[in-house]
Amino acid sequence: MSVGSPVLVRWTADELVGRLDEVLAVYAAAMGYPPDLVSARRGFITAHARRAGFRAVAALDENDAVLGFGYGYLSTAGQWWHDQVRGAIRRGERRRWLTDAYELVELHVLPEAQGGGLGTRLLRGLLDGAPGRVVLLSTPEVADESSRAWRLYRAHGFVDVVRRMRFPGDDRPFAILGRPLPLPPT
């Protein structure tokens, strides 16, 4: 696969769902997840695409193949992730982080396309004009914050909201990171 000069496109909910097999392949490759776990994401992503404030971006190569994607929506009470995070955030910080928050749900780049700034382009493309006063995301903890994901988020001003959070059904610790919106211009 050639990663040449990818084109960044904004997708509607229907466009994301229409290319769900490709999106899930990128997700699996980027996260190193087994097929059964990836398959279970199909219904979640389809449901997420119908939420208020939904936005999606994709990076496509010259053959229209998906090299990376990201999506998110407004985070509100009653949504599983929002409610899990609400329970982990200190009471005095809940209003700051959960009122008018945009949830960056997924942001992934194929391993062979990483390291050339595509994650930054996807992040900026997704958050440019995103609804909300703040943006929140969860990412697996790494001991020294040296992963590409951590470097990307730190470079864009994301700060710790909750560290070492454990979501039901996943043994790994996660960090909840956030920052005000909008992102500053480059």
Domain that holds residue 61: 7-180
What does the pLDDT read at residue 65?
Answer: 97
Tell me the pLDDT of the chain averaged across its residues: 95
Q: Which CATH number belongs to the domain containing residue 22 in this structure?
A: 3.40.630.30
What is the per-residue pLDDT across 117-175, written as a single tens digit (0 to 9) for each? 999 999 999 999 999 999 999 999 988 888 999 999 999 999 999 999 999 988 899 99
Length of the chain: 186
What does the pLDDT read at residue 39?
Answer: 87
Establish if 41 belongs to a structural domain.
yes
Establish if 185 belongs to a structural domain.
no
Q: How far apart are CA 15 and CA 10, in angstroms?
A: 9
Question: Confidence band (pLDDT; 50, 70, 90) for 35?
Answer: confident
Establish if 176 belongs to a structural domain.
yes
Establish if 93 belongs to a structural domain.
yes
What is the per-residue pLDDT across 81-114, written as a single tens digit (0 to 9) for each? 999 999 999 999 999 999 999 999 999 999 999 9
Number of domains, the chain: 1
Question: Confidence band (pLDDT; 50, 70, 90) for 4?
Answer: low
Give the single-character DSSP code of 40. Answer: H
What does the pLDDT read at residue 3?
Answer: 56
Establish if 186 belongs to a structural domain.
no
Give the predicted TM-score (pTM) of the model: 0.95
| Mean pLDDT of the 19-29 span | 96
Cβ 57 vs Cβ 14: under 8 Å: no
What does the pLDDT read at residue 33?
Answer: 87
Active site residues: 153
What does the pLDDT read at residue 78?
Answer: 97
Q: Which helix (H) or strand (E) holds 98?
A: helix 91-98
Establish if 60 belongs to a structural domain.
yes
Establish if 20 belongs to a structural domain.
yes
Establish if 70 belongs to a structural domain.
yes
Q: How far apart are CA 69 and CA 132, in angstroms?
A: 20
Cβ 98 vs Cβ 145: under 8 Å: no
